[in-house]
């Protein structure tokens, strides 16, 4: 190492910087090619927000630089000599990893595609949902599609701070945001206090305080992870539906990651689609959809189960 002296805190931060496998993957890729954040996202399969965060840290450390080319920022390794660069050089001598070799092959393909004059859409075809383009977000798509709906009276169980209610308020006659946390509901009131068709109710989803046949739609959006008896919550929710009403569910699929469960205050290890379908049928609901609808692209690869059931 150079003659620059580091404090214990600086040494610790430097070790943390290069202890992250995703950052090492990015450094190895940028050693081979200057690449944009979108290209790094495509090659690694990481979320673009994570790639951008890692690049920002690597830039601050002096390991990475960026240069504008044709409107896009291309990132590359710097030639700067500093403690981070010296430690990286020592580590790099011993690195030989299968994932890094696969990344390099993908990066070679991306660079070849870039040189072949493809359009943006062509360059990200097959992985388009991972890439940002101006105005093209999931939120914008959801707002466009919400206009197709007429929701009637809606109950949002475990509503949190009102994100769903804000999205669908214009398409509902009324929305009841119900959550067990007074603090969370206060945040929802702050978000939605000026929306006239939204009301708030503090209650436990295990004992829903509403009369039967009160709602046209009941949403359980990631609520079941917080239910000791998710089948009971489903039964109670189904009883609140009017004829023709729908129960809409999104929940984590069955998994084995207890640490994640504890970190987010979940009280169960997810729900398998077959179990969820059986609970819905036991409530005499017609199951229109019940399946794994998405799988996260990075470990531990959590799955989301989506269900839609109608009261005959």
Residue ranges of the chain assigned to CATH 3.40.50.150: 138-311
Residue 210 · residue 234 · CB < 8 Å: no
The CATH T-level fold of domain 138-311 is Rossmann fold (3.40.50)
Whole-number Å distance between alpha carbons of 235 and 232: 5
CA distances from 174 to 26, 170, 203, 266 (A): 48, 9, 18, 29
Beta bridge partners of residue 295, listed in sequence order: 303
- The number of beta carbons lying within 10 Å of the beta carbon of residue 24 is 19
203 DSSP 8-state letter: -
User: Tens place of pLDDT for every residue, the chain, 312 residues?
Assistant: 455 677 888 888 888 888 899 999 999 999 888 888 988 998 999 998 899 999 999 998 888 998 876 667 889 888 777 888 888 888 887 788 888 888 888 888 888 776 666 666 666 666 676 666 677 777 788 878 888 889 999 999 999 999 999 999 999 999 999 999 999 999 999 999 899 999 999 999 999 999 999 999 999 999 999 999 999 999 999 999 999 999 999 999 999 988 878 888 999 999 999 999 999 999 999 999 999 999 886 667 899 999 999 999
Delimit the CATH 1.10.10.10 region(s) of the chain. Answer: 8-130
CATH of 8-130 among 2.40.110.20, 1.20.140.10, 1.10.10.10, 3.40.50.11890: 1.10.10.10
**Alpha helix segments (H runs only) across the chain:** 8-17, 21-32, 37-44, 48-60, 83-92, 98-115, 120-124, 138-146, 163-168, 182-192, 230-239, 258-263, 273-282
């Amino acid at each position: 190492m150079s003659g620059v002296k580091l404090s214990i805190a600086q040494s610790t931060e430097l070790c943390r910087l290069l202890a992250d496998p995703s950052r090492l993957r990015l450094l190895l890729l940028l050693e081979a090619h200057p690449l944009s954040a979108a290209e790094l996202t495509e090659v690694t399969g990481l979320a673009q927000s994570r790639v951008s965060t890692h690049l920002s840290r690597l830039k601050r450390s002096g390991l990475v630089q960026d240069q504008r080319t044709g409107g896009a920022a291309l990132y590359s390794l710097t030639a700067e000599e500093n403690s981070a660069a010296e430690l990286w050089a020592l580590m790099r001598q011993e690195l030989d990893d299968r994932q890094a070799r696969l990344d390099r092959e993908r990066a070679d393909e991306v660079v070849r595609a870039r040189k072949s004059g493809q359009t943006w859409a062509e360059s990200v075809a097959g992985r388009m949902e991972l890439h940002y383009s101006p105005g093209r977000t999931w939120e914008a798509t959801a707002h466009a599609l919400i206009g197709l709906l007429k929701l009637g009276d809606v109950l949002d169980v475990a509503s949190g701070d009102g994100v769903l209610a804000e999205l669908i308020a214009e398409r509902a006659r009324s929305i009841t945001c119900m959550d067990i946390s007074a603090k969370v509901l206060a945040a929802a009131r702050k978000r939605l206090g000026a929306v006239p068709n939204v009301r708030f109710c503090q209650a436990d989803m295990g004992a829903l305080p509403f009369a039967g046949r009160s709602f046209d739609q009941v949403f359980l959006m990631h609520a079941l992870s917080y239910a000791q008896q998710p089948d009971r919550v489903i039964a109670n929710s189904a009883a609140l539906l009017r004829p023709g009403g729908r129960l809409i569910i999104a929940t984590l699929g069955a998994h084995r990651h207890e640490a994640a469960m504890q970190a987010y205050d979940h009280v169960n290890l997810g729900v398998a689609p077959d179990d969820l379908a059986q609970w819905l049928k036991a409530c005499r609901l017609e199951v229109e959809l019940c399946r794994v609808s998405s799988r996260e692209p990075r470990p531990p690869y959590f799955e989301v189960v989506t269900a839609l059931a109608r009261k005959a």
